[in-house]
Amino acid sequence: MDKLLIKGGNPLNGEICISGAKNAALPILASTLLAETPSYISNVPNLQDITTMMSLLGRMGIEFVIDEKLNIEAKSHNIHTFTAPYEMVKTMRASILVLGPLVARFGQAYVSLPGGCAIGARPVNLHIEGLTAMGADINVEGGYITAQAKRLHGATIMMDIVTVTGTENLMMAASLADGVTTLENAAREPEVVDLANCLKSMGAHIEGAGTSTIRIEGVEKLSGTDYSVLPDRIETGTYLVAATMTGGKVKVKNTDANLLDAVLLKLLEAGATITRGNDWIELDMQGRRPRAVNIHTSPYPAFPTDMQAQLTAMNAIAEGVGMLTETVFENRFMHISELQRMGAEIRLEGNTAIINGVERLQAAPVMATDLRASAGLVLASLVAEGETLVDRIYHIDRGYERIEEKLTQLGAEIRRSH
Ligand code: EPZ
């Protein structure tokens, strides 16, 4: 199992390029199931989750042509299988995103329930309830969702919890339904907007993406498109936090500062100087130690849960006490026990972590448990005294393209060991 060995103490300086957003590329790849003609998707990050999604779509019959830059042509004229088996879905929960497209275009789907993961039970009841409201006949047994529909019809769907992939699944399904669907309390994440823009370029009629109410007027069929995935705001935020923690100066390029206002505000509060252009952000910490900040995670545009572990790591070495409340997932503090082993002073009270910043963390062997927790541990290693070994980094490879290459480019001492 791969490990990362990181020697702490170097301020990060320099420039890196941000990759396409994993959480936009995944639903956009699934949406190619809806199109009668080929689609060309570019700026797709080279990540394990992307490979998993493509192998799942491939076994359904999508033919892929991929170039060396991972520009992808997807042909969906010969879909012959409508199943997403457990052995694939258990490795990547986002496989659930094939459910809406399969039912909408082919009237049938047999998709394994994703099951929980390290950060929570992560049910998909809202995906199922929404498709049922659109006329799908759904049966859940033996760990599988069996869905059938002659043709989905429009419906008004109130989602009682804001769900990103739930909104995405239902928006894709509604694009080919007969009539108008309104999604109330919809997720507003930029990745939802990116999917909506991609669907519109395929011929879908969608209004309100990015707001809490999305209106979709179904059409008879959708055509392939040529679409470039938006930049990854969480990768962007992660490297900016790395610069803040190490007192360095980093410019992230091929990104969009408008996607992470809540994160940038917190880094300004921590004492960073931030300048921004239309596709870059530069953060300069001028060698200073960050000040502790208080965080309350919530759906977009509030502070993203996917940046919580990274800010926990920053608060661990910041000046002062930081309070951090996680409201989206019920078990997203797995990184805290690992940070405590590095000397962090953190107390958990329910879903709030009270973090008393210390001057220095100590290197220690630590273990990644989920994608963003592992990012938090890598950040902590960058400022710890000594060489930290981060184990089970297959988690990190799911969401960060070439992380050791990009961190080395910024002056970190990091290497992978097998
Ligand atoms: C998406 O997961 C992201 N994944 C997650 O990123 C991200 O953390 C999450 O949204 C929140 O922003 C992808 O986009 C592939 P949710 P998703 O449905 O859609 C509850 C990463 O690090 N819920 O928005 O699965 C659920 O339990 C990953 O890249 C229901 O109760 O998250 C949770 O408490 C981790 N019933 C809350 O809603 C449902 O039917 C938000 O979950 C659906 C969700």
pTM score, two decimals? 0.97
With cut-offs at 50, 70 and 90, classify the pLDDT of residue 1: confident
**Does the annotation list 331 as a binding residue?**
no
**pLDDT tens-digit map of 133-154:** 999 999 999 999 999 999 999 9
pLDDT at 121: 79
**Does the annotation list 162 as a binding residue?**
no
**pLDDT tens-digit map of 342-355:** 999 999 999 999 99
Mean per-residue pLDDT over the chain, rounded: 96
Mutating to test ligand 1, I would choose from 119, 122, 259 the residue with most ligand atoms within 8 A of its C-beta, which is 122
Residues 55, 62 contacting (CB under 8 angstroms)? no
Average pLDDT of the residues in 288-313: 98
Q: Is the pLDDT of residue 116 over 80?
A: no
**Does the annotation list 23 as a binding residue?**
yes
Nearest atom in ligand 1 to the alpha carbon of residue 300 is 12
Q: Is 161 in the pocket of ligand 1 (CB under 6 A)?
A: yes
Q: At 33, which amino acid appears?
A: L
Q: Is the pLDDT of residue 179 over 90?
A: yes
Alpha carbon distances (Å) from 23 to 44, 94, 220, 271, 349:
10, 9, 27, 29, 30
Q: Is the pLDDT of residue 279 over 80?
A: yes
Tell which residue, 379, 405, 374, has the closest CA to residue 391. 374
Average pLDDT of the residues in 295-309: 98
**pLDDT tens-digit map of 56-78:** 999 999 999 999 888 999 999 99
pLDDT at 115: 76
Distance separating alpha carbons of residues 25 and 191, to the nearest angstrom? 8
Q: Is 306 helix (H, G, I), strand (E, B) or coil?
A: helix
Percent of the chain with pLDDT over 70: 100
Percent of the chain with pLDDT over 90: 92
Distance separating alpha carbons of residues 228 and 94, to the nearest angstrom? 20
Q: Is 32 in the pocket of ligand 1 (CB under 6 A)?
A: no
Q: Is 307 in the pocket of ligand 1 (CB under 6 A)?
A: no
Q: Is the pLDDT of residue 213 over 80?
A: yes
Please name the residue whose Cα sits nearest to atom 6 of ligand 1. 306
pLDDT at 286: 97
Distance separating alpha carbons of residues 136 and 147, to the nearest angstrom? 6
pLDDT at 117: 79
**Does the annotation list 22 as a binding residue?**
yes
pLDDT at 297: 98
Q: Is 306 in the pocket of ligand 1 (CB under 6 A)?
A: yes
pLDDT at 354: 98
Distance separating alpha carbons of residues 56 and 61, to the nearest angstrom? 9
pLDDT at 210: 98
Q: Is the pLDDT of residue 104 over 80?
A: yes
With cut-offs at 50, 70 and 90, classify the pLDDT of residue 122: confident
pLDDT at 99: 98
pLDDT at 119: 83
Residues 171-191 as b or e (16 or more Cβ within 10 Å = b):
bbbbbbbeeebbbebbbbbbb
Q: Considering 17, 79, 117, 118, which one is annotated as catalytic?
A: 117
Give 118 or 284, the one with higher predicted confidence: 284
Å from CA of 123 to ligand 1 middle: 9
Distance separating alpha carbons of residues 115 and 94, to the nearest angstrom? 11
Average pLDDT of the residues in 404-409: 97
Mutating to test ligand 1, I would choose from 161, 305, 331 the residue with most ligand atoms within 8 A of its C-beta, which is 161
With cut-offs at 50, 70 and 90, classify the pLDDT of residue 79: very high
Q: In terms of DSSP bridges, do strands 83-84 and 108-112 run parallel, antiparallel, or are they unpaired?
A: parallel
Q: Is 23 in the pocket of ligand 1 (CB under 6 A)?
A: yes
DSSP symbol at 104:
H
**pLDDT tens-digit map of 17-56:** 999 999 999 999 999 999 999 999 999 999 999 999 999 9
Q: Is 160 in the pocket of ligand 1 (CB under 6 A)?
A: no
pLDDT at 11: 98
Distance separating alpha carbons of residues 296 and 302, to the nearest angstrom? 8
With cut-offs at 50, 70 and 90, classify the pLDDT of residue 320: very high
Q: At 27, which amino acid appears?
A: P
Q: Is 95 in the pocket of ligand 1 (CB under 6 A)?
A: no
For the question of residue 117 being annotated catalytic, the response is yes
Å from CA of 112 to ligand 1 middle: 17
Mutating to test ligand 1, I would choose from 158, 164, 395 the residue with most ligand atoms within 8 A of its C-beta, which is 164
Å from CA of 76 to ligand 1 middle: 27
